A and B are shown apart, each in its own frame.
Chain A
Amino acid sequence: MRIVLTSHLRVNWIACEAHGMCAELLPERITLDDWGYPIIDERPIPAELEAHARRAVDACPTLALALERAQARRR
């Protein structure tokens, strides 16, 4: 059993203004709802999507998107 760091995307719903750039930059994990707000796929971000996720986080005009790291145990 080892401890790994998993990355998850988190939205600050008060800051989010539905600009939608995150969904353009990470369509694998983010889609937009009826009103343009992001629906985040809860699965952890794999290594190959990490750079794209960081770019999506950086692109958000209101800094509403964040990449969080948490520890998880994996067998």
Chain B
Amino acid sequence: MSLPLASAVGPSAYWYLTRATGTVALILLTLAVVLGVIEVEQYSTRRTPRFAIDGVHRTASLLAVVFLIVHILTAALDSFASIPLIDAVVPFAGTYRPLWLGLGAVSFDMLLAIVLTSLARRRLGYRAWRFTHWLAYASWPLALLHGLGTGSDVKATWMLGVSGGCLIVVLSAVCVRAISGWPDQIRPRSAALALAAVFAGGLALWLPSGPLGAHWAQRSGTPKSLLHPAAGGRHG
């Protein structure tokens, strides 16, 4: 299904929209995660009481969902790559970069679970809500990886800056949370720091040979028909 919104030459408005909304969603999710991690520490000032921080946390997550819906719709509407809507929730079954797109689907599924359980919190009870909320720690890294793996702009400096900035901010929040109250509950805290270090380290090792390397579009699973014959596709 596609609407010819632009000429056959160059990317369509939908493609720009999907990239833009995806980036904004990443930023909003980063904000939500950072605030969610930090608010347990109960920092507050006279100007910014804790309920305000909590409010921004909730609003950022809901806004992220809105942007993600646009991100998904525009990706499906765009005529360049065939990405059916179902690929947004059923991971790894599509034809366009199945692994990297699929990570986005998994991340989105988790986010939906988190948001829906939060909205129905009173009825579901505290434990169900709390248990599901922990998925946020999985959902966010997957979203970042999805962006790095599928994003057309991944090599652009500004995109790297945004991704890097989001990563730094989330890692800092996790470190602050893991360290405050040290050495109580030393095992989970050490595990959290170790996981964060492994993730950051893994990313640093993978990026140069991965999305920042040559022929990434081809290696990441872009269907051959979409690949630009000369320079590995319009996705760089």
By a beta-carbon cutoff of 8 Å, the part of chain A in contact with chain B is 15, 19-21, 24-25, 58-59, 61-63
Contact = CB atoms under 8 A, between A and B. Distances in A.
7 contacts: A15-B126, A24-B44, A24-B49, A24-B50, A59-B54, A63-B125, A63-B129
A63 B125 CA distance: 8
B126 A63 contact: yes
Nearest to B58: A59
A63 B118 CA distance: 11
A19 B49 CA distance: 11
A43 to B, nearest CB: 22
Given A19-B42, A20-B42, A59 B51 contact: yes
Interface string B101-137: 0000000000000000000011001100100000000
Contacts of B49: 21, 24
Given A15-B126, A63-B129, 16 more contacts: A19-B42, A19-B50, A20-B42, A21-B50, A21-B51, A21-B54, A24-B44, A24-B49, A25-B51, A59-B51, A59-B54, A61-B54, A63-B121, A63-B122, A63-B125, A63-B126
Contacts of A24: 44, 49-51
A55 B190 CA distance: 36
